[in-house]
């Protein structure tokens, strides 16, 4: 009789890794299966932004909790993810953007994010690197960023310390329901567990199909670029009213330009191609906000995948009709909120009452398992 784990987590991004970590710390015998190395997809290549000003309103309470977790990662994770906590500014350059910003910041403030609208002059005091053309800005003191590429190394160490049976480079080809749990099929043989968490980001859709459930997940292909190391040109996280810019300078001097401009690609092939006009557009926006950035050179651009459900809210909770199976992912700005939301799910699995509600997927499924669109 082969070993049966209490829990098998499939998908080693920030959601899967955090769910596995907290379940193991809660006393479970946990295995984590990841087809590549840990956190080498969205969780390792995203812009690392830990902002409230791009987070969906419904997720603000979660993101605030998660921000506090990132800020104290050394304490609870035990390893450094290069987190910097700083002010955040969301800029408006036009009348229309000012209206959009005022409306959106108001909604986020109602949800608990400490955002206040400040004048362009005040914004420039907060961020001396700003352009003089800013009309108003949303200012949030709860902002910052992590060094996303360190996520895998940090979680890897924490998972091993917590005794999680880590199976990297182990693609899963299918999952079968057995009388007392699940048989997870891999090239190295069957891995058995009493419970199952599917945390595959954009690959949650094909994973759910193993259980006979159709949960449509849209794949966003976000373009990013980074400058070479330059002398300090900014000290805050800078965005714009409609969310299509995220900009920050890391302590080692590189500036990461993001904001969700779309590249070419899909779930099967990943981010295949970066579009030059969009790299230029995103860079123009960045240099318009922080003019001194023009002196830098772009060193590299890349793309990362982001998962989105039909209503753009997370898929986190039990899988309807499949006892002991759970899903965890598709969280907008999921890197920011991931550790907290995964901890809530781990609490639920451990039989503890989660501090805040999960996001059950029943709403996304048609009766009988076909999906609602």
Residues that bind other proteins (CB under 8 A): 37, 40, 44, 54, 56-57, 93-94, 100, 104, 107, 133, 149-150, 152-153, 156-157, 168-169, 227-229, 240-244, 252, 254, 260-262, 264, 272-277, 279-281, 283-288, 293-302, 312, 332
**Smallest separation (angstroms) from other proteins to the CB of 133:** 8
Tokens in use for 114? 């400490």
**Smallest separation (angstroms) from other proteins to the CB of 178:** 31
**Smallest separation (angstroms) from other proteins to the CB of 341:** 18
Complex with other proteins: residue 89 or 175, whichever CB lies closer: 89
Complex with other proteins: residue 236 or 282, whichever CB lies closer: 282
Q: Reduce the DSSP state of residue 247 to 3 states and report it.
A: strand
**Smallest separation (angstroms) from other proteins to the CB of 345:** 23
**Smallest separation (angstroms) from other proteins to the CB of 298:** 5
**Quick check: 70 and 365 in contact, CB under 8 A?**
no
Rg, Å, the chain Cα set: 21
Complex with other proteins: residue 4 or 275, whichever CB lies closer: 275
Whose tokens are 């006009």? That residue is 277
Q: How far apart are CA 20 and CA 280, in angstroms?
A: 40
Q: How far apart are CA 291 and CA 275, in angstroms?
A: 23
Q: How far apart are CA 29 and CA 4, in angstroms?
A: 9
Q: How far apart are CA 289 and CA 280, in angstroms?
A: 14
Side-chain-side CA neighbours of residue 10 (13 Å): 30
**Smallest separation (angstroms) from other proteins to the CB of 284:** 5
191, 277, 259: which is closest to 223 by C-alpha? 259
Complex with other proteins: residue 79 or 348, whichever CB lies closer: 79
> How many CB atoms within 10 Å of residue 120?
17
Q: Name residues whose C-beta falls within 8 Å of residue 86's C-beta, 6 or more positions apart in sequence.
A: 143, 144, 145, 235, 236, 237, 248
Complex with other proteins: residue 68 or 96, whichever CB lies closer: 96
**Smallest separation (angstroms) from other proteins to the CB of 370:** 24
Burial of 324 (0-12, 13-18, 19+ CB in 10 A): middle
Complex with other proteins: residue 299 or 356, whichever CB lies closer: 299
Complex with other proteins: residue 243 or 360, whichever CB lies closer: 243
Complex with other proteins: residue 35 or 343, whichever CB lies closer: 35
Whose tokens are 């829990």? That residue is 7
**Smallest separation (angstroms) from other proteins to the CB of 355:** 24
Q: Reduce the DSSP state of residue 205 to 3 states and report it.
A: helix
């Amino acid at each position: 009789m082969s070993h049966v784990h209490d829990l098998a987590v499939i998908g080693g991004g920030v959601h899967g890794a955090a769910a596995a970590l907290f379940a193991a710390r809660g006393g479970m015998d946990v295995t984590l299966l990841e087809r590549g190395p840990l956190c080498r997809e969205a969780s390792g290549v995203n812009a690392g932004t830990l902002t409230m000003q791009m987070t969906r309103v419904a997720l603000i309470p979660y993101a605030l909790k998660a921000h506090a977790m990132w800020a104290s990662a050394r304490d609870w994770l035990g390893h450094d993810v290069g987190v910097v906590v700083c002010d955040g500014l969301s800029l408006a350059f036009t009348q229309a953007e000012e209206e959009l910003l005022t409306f959106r910041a108001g909604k986020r403030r109602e949800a608990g994010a400490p955002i206040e609208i400040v004048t362009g002059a005040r914004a420039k005091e907060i961020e001396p690197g700003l352009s003089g053309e800013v009309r108003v800005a949303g200012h949030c003191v709860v902002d910052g960023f992590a060094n996303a590429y360190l996520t895998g190394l940090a979680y890897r160490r924490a998972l091993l310390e917590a005794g999680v049976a880590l199976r990297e480079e182990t693609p899963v080809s299918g999952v079968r329901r057995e009388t007392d749990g699940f048989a997870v099929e891999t090239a190295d043989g069957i891995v058995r567990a009493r419970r199952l968490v599917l945390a595959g980001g954009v690959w949650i859709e094909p994973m759910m199909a193993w259980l006979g459930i159709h949960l449509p997940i849209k794949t966003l292909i976000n373009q990013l670029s980074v400058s070479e190391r330059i002398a300090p040109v900014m000290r805050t996280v800078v965005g714009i009213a409609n969310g299509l810019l995220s900009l920050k300078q890391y302590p080692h001097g590189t500036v990461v330009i993001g904001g969700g401009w779309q590249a070419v690609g899909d779930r099967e092939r990943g981010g295949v191609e970066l579009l030059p006009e969009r790299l230029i557009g995103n860079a123009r926006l960045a240099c318009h906000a922080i003019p001194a950035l023009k002196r830098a050179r772009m060193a590299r651009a890349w793309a990362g995948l982001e998962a989105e459900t039909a209503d753009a809210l997370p898929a986190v909770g039990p899988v309807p009709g499949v006892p002991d199976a759970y899903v965890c992912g598709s969280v907008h700005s999921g890197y920011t909120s991931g550790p907290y939301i995964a901890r809530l799910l781990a609490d639920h699995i451990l039989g503890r009452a989660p501090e805040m509600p999960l996001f059950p997927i029943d709403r996304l499924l048609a009766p009988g398992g076909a999906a609602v669109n």
